[in-house]
């Protein structure tokens, strides 16, 4: 591949486009966050899909103009093809496929979770705010442990190579980001709740309430947040429809945040015991932006004499840079195996696409056209 790769992300409510050079350098990137969902209390899939459809053509043009290139210069196209909201996935992947077909260029279907998991391997110049820890971005060797924490996903994954992922544990009910949003709503903070709850927690006492820590201290790497959310609801219930006093709300927010951080640290320790040759402890996904969570996980990494790596804040939430990088990693791995680009035009968007279904280079990718 001699020219840049154009990547699209549209799996939820962020419409994003990025242009990456073959070595991973970001030539241009654009992100448009849909704000209309806040008044509705959460992402409405149909509205999100229509917003992606309206925004993407202009966003692509703006990204190309920012880099000073044209579509004729693009050597490959990629898009999030799952998991996520099916409407948005269809919009983004179909547009990328159309551009690829019209120009006779490869299309790479990217697993959204895989993209998060590979973000820590981005070149340092791409992650312009150096990540936490001492491991330089781009030199991170396999295998490493990723805690993927976002609004839709919460799992511990052993990243053993490109297309080689071993799920060590995951949530049995709510995802961490979902729990943050639900608790924020109980506290009257609106949506999205994670950043607002973190700001409020800075005013509170994290030891004010003894909230339950489901599964903590037990074997395994699974998570559970439903009982924690219910415990917060019981604290709020006596206030009825009245607004919570600021102090009480701040104490609840701080106590909840510490509880989640404790749970994450406990599960990370168990996961590292299952991956004794891990080269680093990594946190990725939208909730990875939470400073309290980062601090607790950094302490766990230090206990195991491991680097702690977290993407810069702008790459924690959904973005097209990570999609493009995952596609480049796939292309590079296939080239090293003596293979050409994947034939992913026939890969259909999937609302559910477990990492277990992602295949390493040389093995047929899910939905790949048979030759």
Instruction: Say which CATH number the domain at 283 has.
Output: 3.30.420.40
Asked whether residue 179 falls in the same domain as residue 273, the answer is yes
Verify that 201 and 331 share a domain, yes or no.
Answer: no
370 within some domain? no
| 37 in a labelled binding site | no
Determine whether the annotation assigns residue 194 to a binding site.
yes
Q: What is the CA radius of gyration of the chain?
A: 21
Tens of pLDDT along the chain (371 residues)?
Answer: 789 999 999 999 899 999 999 999 999 999 998 766 666 667 888 999 999 999 999 999 999 999 999 999 999 999 999 999 999 999 999 999 999 999 999 999 999 999 999 999 998 655 544 434 434 345 799 999 999 998 778 999 999 999 999 999 999 998 898 999 999 999 999 777 899 999 999 999 999 999 999 999 999 999 999 999 999 999 999 999 898 999 999 999 999 999 999 999 999 999 999 999 999 999 999 899 999 999 999 999 999 999 999 988 889 889 999 999 999 999 999 999 999 999 899 999 999 999 888 888 777 655 444 33
Q: Which residues contact 292 (CB under 8 A, 6 or more apart)?
A: 198, 201, 257, 258, 261
For residue 228, the enclosing domain spans 144-310
Was 338 annotated as part of a binding site? no
Q: How far is CA 262 from the centre of its chain?
A: 21
SS3 142: coil
Tell whether 6 is in a known binding site: no
116 annotated to a ligand binding site:
yes
Alpha-carbon distance values, 145 to 15, 40, 277, 354, 361 (Å):
28, 36, 10, 17, 21
Do 327 and 302 have their domain in common? no
Has 153 been labeled as part of a binding site?
no
Shared-domain flag, residues 92 and 208:
no
Is 112 annotated to bind ligand? yes
Residues 213 and 302 grouped into a single domain: yes
Is 290 annotated as ligand-binding? yes
Same domain, 330 and 293: no
Q: What total of structural domains would you count in the chain?
A: 2
Residue 198, annotated as binding a ligand: yes
Residue 319, annotated as binding a ligand: no
């Amino acid at each position: 591949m001699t020219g840049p790769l154009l990547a699209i992300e549209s799996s939820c409510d962020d419409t994003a486009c990025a242009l990456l050079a073959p070595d991973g350098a970001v030539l241009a990137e654009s992100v448009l966050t849909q704000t209309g969902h806040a008044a509705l209390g959460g992402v409405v899939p149909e509205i999100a899909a229509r917003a992606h459809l309206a925004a993407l053509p202009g966003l692509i043009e703006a990204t190309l103009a920012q880099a000073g290139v044209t579509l004729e210069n693009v050597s490959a196209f990629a898009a999030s093809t799952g998991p996520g909201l099916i409407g948005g996935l269809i919009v983004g992947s179909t547009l990328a496929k159309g551009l690829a077909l019209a120009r006779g260029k490869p299309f790479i279907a990217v697993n959204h979770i895989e993209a998060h998991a590979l973000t820590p391997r981005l070149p340092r110049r791409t992650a312009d705010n150096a990540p936490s820890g001492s491991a330089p971005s781009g030199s991170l060797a396999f295998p490493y442990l990723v805690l993927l924490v976002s609004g839709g996903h919460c799992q511990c994954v052993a990243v053993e190579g490109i297309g080689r992922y071993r799920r060590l544990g995951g949530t049995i009910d709510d995802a961490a980001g979902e729990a943050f949003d639900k608790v924020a709503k109980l506290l009257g903070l609106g949506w999205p709740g994670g950043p607002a709850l973190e700001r409020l927690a800075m005013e509170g006492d994290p030891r004010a309430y003894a909230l339950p820590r489901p599964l903590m201290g037990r074997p395994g790497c699974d998570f559970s947040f439903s009982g924690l959310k219910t415990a917060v609801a019981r604290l709020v219930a006596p206030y009825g429809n009245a607004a919570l006093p600021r102090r009480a709300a701040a104490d609840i927010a701080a106590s909840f945040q510490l509880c989640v951080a404790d749970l994450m640290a406990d599960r990370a320790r168990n996961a590292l015991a299952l991956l004794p040759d891990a080269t680093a402890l990594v946190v990725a996904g939208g909730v990875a932006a939470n400073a309290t969570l980062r601090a607790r996980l950094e302490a766990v990494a230090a206990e195991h004499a491991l680097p702690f790596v977290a993407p810069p804040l702008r790459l924690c939430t959904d973005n097209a840079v990570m999609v493009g990088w995952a596609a480049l990693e796939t292309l590079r791995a296939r080239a090293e195996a003596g293979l050409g680009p994947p034939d992913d035009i026939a890969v259909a968007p999937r609302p559910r696409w477990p990492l277990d279904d992602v295949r390493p280079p040389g093995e047929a990718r899910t939905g790949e056209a048979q030759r």
